[in-house]
Amino acid sequence: MSDRSGSHPATRPGEEPARRRGTHPAGVLVRLGDTTGTVADPAEDVRGRRVLDSAGAELGTVDDLLVDSEQERVRMLRLKHGGVLGIGAEVSFVPVEAITAISDEEVRVDLDRERVSRAPRYDPELADQSEFYDSLYGYYGYAPFWGPGYVARPWPYPGADPL
């Protein structure tokens, strides 16, 4: 259970927090730009960088980072693409597990443009955002960060190839 403000999920007395039940609590991901937080090393902040797909085609620009407010880890890239001067632009979300390389100007992911364009769309009117996150991770085929046995990779990934 959570409120619609995006705050931490509430639990009833005696109820186990949703993360321990294996489901994602709604509201745990927040836009870094909506907080006072920053990425520890400014050189590692990929906001504003172009995102390239597995074939090198441009997908858009990293508009923001979605951070797990409990563990303070970057979990998703928020991409903006299309439109003219920001008007009519669409937003897509890509789990950070898709990142294969990072440079000073670009982020490369192991997805293609078609796959990203067909990804589930965020709907701010949904009362339970966990359904969106579940469908997004399932669609891309990555294990969700709230699932049992998930081990977070450090940010940015030391194993990512330089471009």
Give the model confidence (pLDDT) of 8-37 as tens digits: 333 333 333 333 334 445 447 888 988 888
| DSSP code string of 85-144 | TTBT-EEEEEEGGGEEEE-SSEEEESS-HHHHHTSPPP-TT-S-THHHHHHHHHHHT---
Residue 156 pLDDT class (50, 70, 90 cuts): low
Task: List, in order, residues 6 or more apart from 96 with CB less than 8 Å away.
Answer: 74, 75, 76, 77, 153, 155
Q: Which tokens sit at 10?
A: 């509430």
Given a cut of 90, whether residue 39 has pLDDT beyond it is: no
pLDDT at 142: 87
Domain 18-140 CATH (choose: 3.40.50.2300, 3.30.950.10, 3.40.50.300, 3.90.50.10): 3.90.50.10
Contact 93, 149 (CB under 8 A): no
Which pLDDT tens digit goes with each residue over 95-130? 999 999 999 999 999 999 999 989 998 877 665 677
Choose the weakest-confidence range: 15-24, 45-54, 71-80, 133-142.
15-24
The span from the CA of 132 to the CA of 143, in Å, is 14
Mean pLDDT of 50-65: 95
The span from the CA of 109 to the CA of 86, in Å, is 23
pLDDT at 5: 31
Of 139 and 83, more confident: 139
- Kindly list the distances between the CA atom of residue 77 and the CA atoms of 31, 63, 64, 95, in Å, as whole numbers in the listed order: 10, 8, 6, 6
Given a cut of 60, whether residue 147 has pLDDT beyond it is: yes
Contact 160, 100 (CB under 8 A): yes
- Kindly list the distances between the CA atom of residue 16 and the CA atoms of 13, 70, 111, 146, 148, in Å, as whole numbers in the listed order: 9, 16, 36, 14, 15
Residue 126: HSE in the Cβ half-sphere, 13 Å Cα cutoff: 13
pLDDT at 144: 86
pLDDT at 119: 93
The span from the CA of 125 to the CA of 101, in Å, is 34
